Structure 1
Amino acid sequence: MRWLETEAGIGDARLVRRLEGGNANVTCLLETDGGPMVLRHPPSDTISEFAGAGIEREFRFTSAIAQSAPVPEPVLFCNDRTVLGVPFSITLFVDGTAITDTLPPAYPDSIATRNVIGGALIDALASVHAIEPLPAGLGDAAKGRDFVSRQVRRWRQVRRAEAVRDLPQIETLGAWLVENVPTPESVRIVHCDYHLDNVLMDANEPQVNAILDWEMATLADPLVDVGLVTAMWNRDERKPLGFAFVQRISNHAGVISGSGLADRWSHATGLSIDRLAYYQAFALWRLAAIVEGAYVLFRNGQVDGDYERGLERDVPALLEAAEGFARDEGFA
């Protein structure tokens, strides 16, 4: 860690341990003379020349919004592979806990607590979407207006090329999504994978300390984010659920609905949610199309884990839920 001291002025840096989560990237806790920090980098055995693109994107977006939304404060990004062998970033450490199917011990186990969590979750997202004008250096806002149709075309093509089972909704619903893309009311900063698992909640009270995992951030219609987080909020446990653990603490009678969270977001941002069901359908369809890639690897004998095995059920369940939202928009 001598480089950090000589080049970045971060003294006495020591690697403490690897942190959980972080998607496909390695996330480690550092102790330094300036306090705890977080090191993020792609796996060291990666061979792709684009392996650092997500880390660089995350650093670029969080640097642009750190004063306006709850994100870990960026410290540096290094693309010099002679230092660690891979590109890496460093941020200040943010304490907190990720919530899935159980509440932190300090939280009252009540419907009211779950509603406060939902409000904090959507308010944090609204703080990102409220940022305008768009900061420089984040991409082409005009291109962002076409994000949804480009994504559907891309993932239909990928799934056609790699199909290992019959998933008719990839085609039927994909075609409908392309034909019915709404005209964006606005283009904003979009996280692209926003849900409760990707935020750090305070361990003692239901507030968002930081939004994590910005590797897929882009400029697009902000309803791309709203669609995903609300589609997976307060789901019916009597139905097959794709990724049932995600936001499972919300799956209780009396908890505010996903549409209720969307109403709150609309009030905070001043943006319409008239086409919310479309974006909920798109979000779940896109998620299913993306993660099906891991199931393809499993079927081809390249990976074999609980996550990949679970996709046999998760992907069809996501597509079924997506179709349900699309029916609300006229899909037949």
Structure 2
Amino acid sequence: MTTPPEAVDLAVLASWMDEKGLPLGPIEDIKELGGGTQNILLRFRRGGTTYVLRRGPRHLRPRTNDVLRREARVLTALDGTGVPAPRIIAVCGNENVMGGAVFYLMTPVDGFNATTYLPDLHAGDASVRHRMGLEAVVALSKLGAVDHEAVGLADYGSPEGFLERQVPRWMSELEGYGKLDGYPGPEIPGLEHVASWLEDHRPSEWRPGVMHGDYHLANLMFSPTGPQVAAIVDWEMSTIGDPLLDLGWLLATWPVGDAVSIAGPLGAAGGLATRDELIAAYAERSTRNLDAVDWYEVLACFKLGIVLEGTHARACAGKAPKDTGDLLHAMTLGLFERARGITG
């Protein structure tokens, strides 16, 4: 690729980098990277250094810039904590520099996404794949151990009442989908049962911390030379809340049987750690109380299922592809079936 996306002006980028005192020279070896969102990721070299630029899509959504600012803030705060994540090099929070978009530069990650591709080492060795799941928990336990106040994130979220807000917040979200013409309403067996169970079994005590908010295999980059997590990526949903919900999210999305999964090639290859092994690995590395781990997994199924149902609702209204809506609705049904299996 010799030219960047229209939304990235190289002359503007070079001038801004000069002002930041970053290495001079032509911007070379430009490559647009794929990702799980519509945000633009551009890898390039300048002055002997490789960078990755992240900014919102060409047509910015209302909250995109705020989300990018938050991402940059949390990644900056996590630098030096041992949490595997991209390192921020410089941030441009001024929307007037590049066509209204906030952007930042970060270090590139030497890794791969196991939901889209497996190198020969990982594809050919079940012991490596088994360890990958455990390493996902190792990385998560490091995040859960971060003192959010000590790293400057005391005001990054609103932990007060976090668990109490979850069920009403997401039931209200689901109700809002009814405003979309063509959506028949949520046809989700067990919806009310799961919601009631969550309210009745909510943990009474928990400890706030940094949450990724969307912790699953598709948001992890693994080392090409082993099972370790090279970086946790896509921090758009991060906040200060209950880090055990991240563990619940990993469990809720973990490949099991024939369920519709986002695990891709890794899930298809098999040989992965079991749910109990993942929980045990977290318990070995965390001081958090895991007595209510089932509750966090059910909450993750509930919340993620409602999020995915939103795309199904938009597809019914002609605002998203029907095939995508059908697939995500199937995943929602699978998540609620999983939740019902836990709640009884």
* TM-score (norm. length: structure 2): 0.85
1:160 is paired with a residue whose SS is helix
Distance 1:131 1:123 in 2: 13
Aligned to 1:63: 76
Question: Of 331, 335, 338, which aligns to 1:314?
Answer: 331
> Aligned-pair distance for 1:126?
0.9
Given residue 64 of structure 2, which amino acid in structure 1 is its aligned partner?
Answer: A
- Of 217-226 and 124-133, more deviation after overlay is shown by 124-133
> Aligned-pair distance for 1:34?
4.7
The verdict on how the C-alpha distance between 1:255 and 1:92 changes in structure 2, with shifts beyond 3 A counting, is closer
Aligned to 1:286: 303
The answer to whether the 8 A contact 1:141-1:187 is kept is no
Distance 1:275 1:212 in 2: 27
The answer to whether the 8 A contact 2:249-2:297 is kept is yes
Given residue 222 of structure 2, which amino acid in structure 1 is its aligned partner?
Answer: M
The answer to whether the 8 A contact 1:95-1:202 is kept is yes
> Aligned-pair distance for 1:250?
4.8
2:207 is paired with a residue whose SS is coil
The verdict on how the C-alpha distance between 1:141 and 1:149 changes in structure 2, with shifts beyond 3 A counting, is farther
Question: Of 129, 139, 146, which aligns to 1:114?
Answer: 129
The answer to whether the 8 A contact 1:231-1:258 is kept is no
- Of 28-37 and 106-115, more deviation after overlay is shown by 106-115
Aligned to 2:21: 9
Aligned to 1:330: none
Aligned to 2:4: none
The answer to whether the 8 A contact 1:197-1:246 is kept is yes
The reply on whether 1:158 has 2:173 as its aligned counterpart is: yes
> Aligned-pair distance for 1:154?
1.4
Question: Of 212, 219, 223, which aligns to 1:198?
Answer: 219
Aligned to 1:128: 143
Aligned to 2:5: none
Equivalences for residues 205-284 of structure 1 within 5 A: 205-237=226-258, 241-242=259-260, 244-246=261-263, 249-250=266-267, 255-284=272-301
Given residue 112 of structure 2, which amino acid in structure 1 is its aligned partner?
Answer: T
Distance 1:45 1:124 in 2: 34
Distance 1:321 1:67 in 2: 37
Given residue 44 of structure 1, which amino acid in structure 2 is its aligned partner?
Answer: R
The verdict on how the C-alpha distance between 1:148 and 1:252 changes in structure 2, with shifts beyond 3 A counting, is farther
Distance 1:79 1:113 in 2: 41
Aligned to 1:170: 191
Aligned to 2:86: 72
> Aligned-pair distance for 1:312?
3.0
> Aligned-pair distance for 1:101?
6.7
The reply on whether 1:148 has 2:169 as its aligned counterpart is: no
The verdict on how the C-alpha distance between 1:78 and 1:305 changes in structure 2, with shifts beyond 3 A counting, is farther
Distance 1:132 1:90 in 2: 25
- Point out 4+ residue stretches in structure 1 off by more than 4 angstroms: 139-142, 250-254
> Aligned-pair distance for 1:23?
2.2
Given residue 297 of structure 1, which amino acid in structure 2 is its aligned partner?
Answer: R
Aligned to 1:296: 313
Question: Of 165, 180, 186, which aligns to 2:201?
Answer: 180
Distance 1:24 1:174 in 2: 31
> Aligned-pair distance for 1:253?
7.3
1:27 is paired with a residue whose SS is strand
Aligned to 2:119: 104
Distance 2:131 2:322 in 1: 35
Size of the aligned set, in residue pairs, is 322
Distance 1:257 1:61 in 2: 31
Identity, % of aligned positions? 26
> Aligned-pair distance for 1:139?
4.2
Distance 1:102 1:321 in 2: 26
The answer to whether the 8 A contact 2:129-2:271 is kept is no
Question: Of 85, 92, 114, which aligns to 2:107?
Answer: 92
> Aligned-pair distance for 1:97?
0.3
Distance 1:255 1:6 in 2: 47
Aligned to 2:6: none
Q: What is the RMSD of the two structures over their aligned residues, measured on CA atoms?
A: 2.4
Describe the superposition over 1:118-174 as per-residue Cα deviations: whole angstroms up to 9, x where unpaired.
121110111111112633542448931522332321110121121323225333322
The verdict on how the C-alpha distance between 1:309 and 1:168 changes in structure 2, with shifts beyond 3 A counting, is closer
Describe the superposition over 1:95-136 as per-residue Cα deviations: whole angstroms up to 9, x where unpaired.
110102763212362332222111211101111111126335
Distance 1:199 1:266 in 2: 21
Given residue 160 of structure 1, which amino acid in structure 2 is its aligned partner?
Answer: E
Unaligned runs of 5+ in 2: 1-12
Distance 1:142 1:299 in 2: 33
* TM-score (norm. length: structure 1): 0.88
- Of 1-10 and 50-59, more deviation after overlay is shown by 1-10
